[in-house]
Amino acid sequence: MTSIADLPTPALLVDLDRLERNIARMAAAFAGAGVGLRPHTKTSKCLEVVRRQLDAGALGMTCSTPAEVAWLQAAGVTDLLWAHAPVGPPKVAFVIDAVRRGGLTVALDSEEAAAPLSAAASAAGVTVPFVLEINTGHARLGVDPERVPQVAARLAARPGLRLRGLLTHEGHLATQPDRPTLEAAGRTAGELMARLAAGLRADGHAMEVVSVGSTPGATSTPFAAGVTEGRPGTYVYFDANQMRLGSCTIDDCALTVLARVVSVQRAGRPIIDAGIKAMSSDTIAAAGSVGLVDRPGVAFVDANEEHGFLADAGDRPLVVGDLVRIIPNHACGTTNMWSHLYAVRGDQVVERWEISARY
């Protein structure tokens, strides 16, 4: 096996021991509660990771983009939820083809989005399964709760569409001030979804799927009585933002960027060969930090495209040639910057894995 010290830098690494532990722990929690697990593939975009999630009991996968849907269908994954609005002629045409291949459910939140898809499905002689997206507080996509009965009835009545249930992304949990408040908000979102689904069942709708999804909410929202599945994604790697939210500890973070010090011309300000093209520029909850460095007293404070600027107040100053490993702020955004990663155990490289369906 190759040592990580022999890799060209920067390099994206996944710690197999942590990855496998994260997958097993989430699978066990969901299975123990009788809730389906449908991980979001945008975090890894890596077939080796997806296979491990499915082998651990995931019922299917969640996708963000047509490329992810096409990639996983080609790989033989047969139960996919596309959790994004299929708006515009190219996406509508893609849905029709993907539904013909089998196993795809889409998300809708308006008649404006549903009408072109309904027309295309009717013309093609296919039925598109869909879930109605609900706003439980994040106010991204999603119907406001008080409008759910009428919107569900209108969309379900359209030819070529079949309502399967409800979906939400409880992204607002990431803005809560502390972990207990976050957990309470997660339970509230799950309970709201269950109540809405019960009301729609009373109106004659099937509601076979009540789907919630976020890693911060993975310990609360899916376990409200009446929720059928959860869609966490980042849990497979975790990241610095999830640490700040209390979703994990540093020992759970499986994804790191390996970088090397290339200059120490200015005292206390080492320069590394990993910038925003290695890390992504997504800070979210980490203002003033590009990522979390694995050395005490060292902070990753700024970056250009290919250069990272550290602040070094450690006991042993970094020197040219030193290696550092950096936990990304946001694992999903970082993954999309890379074409491949190295699976490692300790400091030894086990395999190289390809990253697919990138923009």
pLDDT reported for residue 285? 53
pLDDT reported for residue 359? 86
Report the distance separating Cα 42 and Cα 333, nearest Å: 9
pLDDT reported for residue 144? 98
Fold topology of 17-236: TIM Barrel (3.20.20)
Chain position carrying tokens 């019922």: 59
Instruction: Tell me the residue ranges of DSSP E strands in the chain.
Output: 2-3, 11-15, 36-37, 61-63, 80-82, 104-108, 128-133, 161-167, 209-212, 229-230, 255-263, 271-272, 291-293, 298-303, 308-312, 323-328, 340-345, 348-354
Structural tokens at position 17: 């021991």
Q: Would you say the C-alpha torsion 315, 320, 323, 327 has a positive or negative sign?
A: positive
- Name residue 258's beta-bridge partners: 11, 325
Contacts of 351 by beta carbon, 8 Å cutoff, 6+ apart: 48, 342, 343
Structural tokens at position 86: 């299929």
Three-state DSSP string of 314-349 = CCCCCCCCCEEEEEECCHHHHHCCCCEEEEEECCEE
Cβ atoms of 64 and 31 within 8 Å: the answer is no
pLDDT reported for residue 280? 80
**3.40.50.720, 2.40.30.40, 3.30.420.40, 2.40.37.20: CATH of 2-11+248-354:** 2.40.37.20
For residue 30, the Cα-to-chain-centroid distance in whole angstroms is 17
Give domain limits for the chain: 2-11+248-354, 17-236
What are the strands of the beta sheet with 104-108, ordered from one edge? 36-37, 229-230, 209-212, 161-167, 128-133, 104-108, 80-82, 61-63
Structural tokens at position 228: 């059928």
Burial class (CB in 10 A: 0-12, 13-18, 19+), 283: middle
Asked if the domains at 2-11+248-354 and 17-236 fall in one CATH topology, the answer is no
Chain position carrying tokens 């939400």: 168
Structural tokens at position 221: 């929202």
Report the distance separating Cα 114 and Cα 186, nearest Å: 29
Residues of the chain falling short of pLDDT 70 = 282-287
pLDDT reported for residue 315? 87
* 66-74 helix and 89-101 helix, angle to the nearest 10 degrees: 20
pLDDT reported for residue 314? 81
SS3 216: helix
